[in-house]
Amino acid sequence: MQTKTELRKEISLRKTRHSSSDWRARQAAEAWQRVVAHPRWQEARTVLLYHSLPDEPDTHAFVRQWAREKRILLPVVVGDDLELRVYTDDGSLRAGAFHIAEPTGKAFTDYAAIDLAIVPGVAFDREGNRLGRGKGYYDRLLPRLKAYKIGLCFPFQLVESIPAEAHDVRMDEIICGGR
């Protein structure tokens, strides 16, 4: 089994091979179609999403679109932790850590009210294990959530196996385009 560091390097190479913006847009659109068709999405009223980085399936338009119908939460990096805040509109976003647009406003702490969490990752395996970027932000956030957890990714981010540690929280499901 590869180490987490080896997996991150492998996925980085795969990203280079799959760098076509047209391909990425198609894959992301397919993944979002699967999310919207999912019963958990349809039933959810409060959803944790994320504001994507350029190498992740684009979430920006999706967040804008669905914020009219659902309460959308986005993470904000505060020190070594993720704080959740309600997304209201793009005007309430400010550049935060890692140049990610983050909502302003007060912290959302009613974790029990979150129905669904859609989570990014460097890689996922079919057992629901997630490989993050290595800072542990989601490792500290996810144990607080009872919500159904969906890992969202491109097909090349699905790997055979990810070494899991005791603190790792498995995703309930992985959704990607092309599958």
What are the CA-CA distances from residue 18 to residues 12, 37, 42 (Å)? Answer: 10, 26, 31
- For the entire predicted model, the pTM comes to 0.89
d(Cα 89, Cα 35) in Å, to the nearest integer?
21
Q: What pairing do the DSSP bridges indicate for beta strands 123-125 and 71-78?
A: unpaired
Give the model confidence (pLDDT) of 36-71 as tens digits: 999 999 999 999 999 988 888 889 999 999 999 999
Average predicted confidence (pLDDT) for the chain: 89
Give the model confidence (pLDDT) of 123-174 as tens digits: 999 999 998 887 889 999 999 999 999 999 999 899 999 988 888 899 999 9
pLDDT at 71: 97
